Amino acid sequence: MQTFSVRKLHLILGPVLFALCYYLLPSTLFETAASRAAVGAVAWMAYWWLTAPIDYAVTAFLPIALNALFQICDMDEVIANYASETILLLLGASIITVSWEETGLDRRIAAKFLNLIGNSLRKQVIFWFVLSTLLSAVLPNAVVCATITPIAVSMLRYIGEGDIEKSRVGSKILLAIAYAAGLGGLASPLGGAMNLVTVDYIQQLTGEEYMYIDWVVKFFPIMVVLLIINLIFMVRDIKKNECLGGSKEYFQQEYEKMPKMTREELISLLLFCVATIMAFTRQCYSDILPGLKPAYSFIICAIIAFFITRKENGEKLLHWNHVAKKVVWGLIYIFAGGMAAGTLINGSGAAESIGTAVASMGITGGIAAVCIFITVPLLLSDVTSNTATAAVAIPIVISIVQGLGQNPIPYIYIASIGVNLSYMLPTSIRAIPVGYGLSPKYMFKEGWKITLLVIVFMTITAWALMEYWPAFSE
C-alpha cells in the first residue's frame, strides 16, 4: 500500500512526464505540438499504470481529457475506442460469465479443468499458453484472450487464487494467456488484421495473389523458436513440484461430488459456446450475415441471458443492477484507453515521425537492419494496436530496403515479427488480464525481460533464415 506522500509524488510525476515530452522533445523529430503531446500522453499513462497512484481505469480516460485540451487528433476517433466492436465483445463476454457465477457453472468448469489437466502449476501454464497460441493462429487475438481469460479466472477463484494482483499463480496463468494470444497471431495471416495488412503490401509488390500456406511455412521455424523462448521464460521460476493446492485426486473427488448440471447452467454454457463458435467460424457465414461480427454475437447472447429463469421459482436469473456490479468495467475501459492512446500516436503523426527517424539512421541491411526492423515495430505495438503498427511500419520498411536496392520481402516478414509481438504495457489484448486483476507493474517487470530475449533470439533467427534459407527470401 502506497503512503500518501509516495502516491502524491507519482500523481505529480505523470503530468511532469507529459510536460517534458511536450516541451523538450526535438521539433526536428516531432515537428508538430500534437505529436509531442501524443508521446507525452503515452508516457503519462504508462507511468500511472505502472505506479498506480489512481485506479487503472481512471488513467484510461486520459486520452479524452488531453485531446480535449491539446487537440492532438480528431476527438471522434478517440471516443470511438470506448465503444468499439472489441469493447462490445468484452462487455458481452463479461455479462455471460456473470450468469456462470449465478448458476455455479464457473465452479463446475474450474473443477473439470483441474480434474483433466492436474494441479501442477507448470502443466497449467503450458496448457493455457499452448491452447491460446493454437486458437489465435486462426482467430483474432482479442477474441481468444476475451474468451479464454474468464475460464482461467473461474478456475483460479475456485482454488482460492481469485485476487489476481496478489496471486503469483494467477498472474502467471493470465500473463501466459496474453503472451500466447499475441504470439499465435504470427502463425498465419488469419491471426489478425495486422497480418492481412502485411499480405496486402506483399501482393502489391509482387502483383500476384499471396498463398496463405506460404506464410505458415516461412514462419514455422520462427514460431518454434518463439514458443520455446516464451515457455522457458514462463516456467523458469516454477518449481517442479509446485501445485495449485490440493491433489488431482482431490479435485476429481470434488468434481464427482457436484450435483447434476442444472438447466440454468446448461443454458449459460450454451450461450457462451454459441457466441464463441460464431466468432470462431465467422468466415463460414459472413456472406449470409455480413453484419453479424463476433462482437455482436456476444452481445446478442448476453441479451438472451437476461431471459433465463430459474426452474424452481420462475424468477429471472440476471437483473441489470446486479449484473452491473459484477461486470469487469475496469477491463473494458483499460482496453479502450490503451487503444485511444494508440489513436493519439497515429492520429497526431507521431508514429510517422518515429518511422522517419528510423529511415534516417543510415541502415545498410544485414543483421543490424534485422534488429531494427524487429525492435521498432515491437516497441511501437506496445503503445498502439498491432494493425496500426503494421500500417505505419511495413511501408517504411519497404521504402528503406528498396532504397538499398535489396529485396524487401524478407524484411517485411521480419518486421511482421515485431508487429505481432508486444509484452510490456497494458494496451491492446494485454489490457484484458489487467482488467481481471493482473498488476501492470508485474506485466512490465516480466515484459521488458521477455522483450529483450525475443529481440536477441529473433534477430539471430531471422537473419539466419534470410541468409541460409532461400525460401524465406522468395
Are 401 and 372 in contact by the 8 Å Cβ rule? The answer is no
The predicted pLDDT at position 220 comes to 92
Burial of 210 (0-12, 13-18, 19+ CB in 10 A): middle
Q: What per-residue confidence (pLDDT) applies to 88?
A: 87
Cβ pair 330, 90 in contact under 8 A: no
Burial of 89 from C-beta contacts in 10 A (0-12 / 13-18 / 19+): buried
Backbone angles phi, psi at 366, to 5 degrees: 75, -160
∠ Cα 205 226 222 (to 5°): 35
What count of other Cβ atoms lies within 10 Å of the Cβ of residue 469?
Answer: 13
The 8-class DSSP code of residue 259 comes to P
Write down the pLDDT at residue 329. Answer: 84
Checking if the pLDDT of 382 tops 80, the result is yes
Grid cell 502467471 — which residue?
Answer: 172
Instruction: Check residue 44 and give its pLDDT.
Output: 93
Q: Is residue 65 part of a domain?
A: no
254 vs 320, higher pLDDT: 320
Q: What is the mean pLDDT of the chain?
A: 85
Domain extent, residue 172, equals: 83-329
Residue type, 153: V
User: 248 pLDDT band (50/70/90 cuts)?
Assistant: low
Residue 291, pLDDT > 80, answer yes
Task: Return the bridge partners of 316, or none.
Answer: 309
Which residue type sits at 118?
Answer: G
In single-letter form, the type of residue at position 321 comes to N
Average pLDDT over residues 280-297: 83
Q: What percent of the chain has pLDDT over 70?
A: 95
Looking at the domain assignment, is residue 280 inside a domain? yes
Looking at residues 191-215, what average pLDDT do you find?
79
Q: Is 106 a domain residue?
A: yes
pLDDT tens profile 38-58:
989 988 988 898 888 888 889
Reported as a pLDDT band with limits 50, 70 and 90, residue 470 is: confident
Strand partners, 309: 316
Mean pLDDT of 63-91: 90
CA–CA gap between residue 169 and residue 468 (Å, rounded): 41
Q: 416 lies in a domain?
A: no
pLDDT of residue 407: 84
Q: How many domains does the chain have?
A: 1
The span from the CA of 260 to the CA of 348, in Å, is 57
pLDDT recorded at residue 235: 92
**Nearest 5 degrees, angle CA 347-CA 348-CA 353?**
115
- Residue 159: pLDDT band (50, 70, 90) is confident
Ramachandran region of residue 279, left (φ > 0), alpha (ψ -120 to 50) or beta?
A: alpha
Please indicate, yes or no, if residue 377 is contained in any of the structural domains: no
- Band of pLDDT at residue 443, cut at 50, 70 and 90: very high
16 part of a folded domain: no
CA–CA dist 26, 146 (Å, integer): 40
| DSSP-derived secondary structure for 201-224 | HHHHHHSSPPPHHHHHHHHHHHHH
pLDDT 10s digits, 412-421: 999 999 888 8
Query: What letter would DSSP give residue 165?
Result: G
Q: How many CB atoms lie within 10 A of CB 307?
A: 10
Query: What does 392-439 look like in DSSP terms, one character per residue?
Result: HHHHHHHHHHHHTTS-SHHHHHHHHHHHH---SSS-GGGHHHHHTT--
Q: Are the CB atoms for 406 and 364 separated by under 8 Å? A: no
Q: How confident is the model at residue 166 (pLDDT cuts 50, 70, 90)?
A: confident
Confidence band of 335 (pLDDT split at 50, 70, 90): confident
pLDDT of residue 199 exceeding 80, the answer is yes
Indicate whether 1 pLDDT > 60.
Answer: no
Query: Is residue 69 in some structural domain?
Result: no
In a domain, 152, yes or no: yes
Band of the pLDDT at 2, cuts 50, 70, 90?
low
Work out the pLDDT band at 174, boundaries 50, 70, 90: very high
> Average pLDDT in the 52-66 region?
90
